[in-house]
Amino acid sequence: MGDDGEAVFRTDTAPPDARQALCRIAADAATLLGAADTRARLRICDGHNCSGRFVDKSVGRRRRWCSMAICGNRAKAAQHRRTAARSTP
Ligand SMILES: [Zn+2]
């Protein structure tokens, strides 16, 4: 509660239990999906066995992975291995 008795939604404190943590996740999802600009840029990661979601803020709107350091590197390493295997006599 705020000083005036109005309910205040705060996200700057750690949730004390699982229920409140889930409420915070739901609020994040509602915030994300409620805005047309972020909703239009919401993507699912192309990474193998990854279902990560992210908002594509890239200029070309062609981002493919939730994380370049994890899923992007794995995909590029796999592509490199496939290319090397094809060129090996
Ligand atoms: Zn991913």
List CB-based neighbours of ion ligand 1 within 5 Å: 45, 47, 50, 52, 66, 71
- Position 76 scores a pLDDT of 95
**41 CA distance to ligand 1 middle (Å):** 16
pLDDT tens, residue order, the chain (89 aa):
567 777 776 667 777 888 888 888 898 889 888 889 889 999 999 999 999 999 999 999 999 999 999 999 999 999 999 999 998 76
Domain ranges (residues) in the chain: 18-87
- Position 88 scores a pLDDT of 74
Give the residues across from 43 on adjacent strands.
Answer: 54
**Within 10 Å of residue 65's Cβ, how many Cβ atoms?**
20
First to last CA, the chain: 71
- Position 70 scores a pLDDT of 94
Domain 18-87: give its CATH superfamily: Jann2411-like domain (1.10.3300.10)
- Position 75 scores a pLDDT of 94
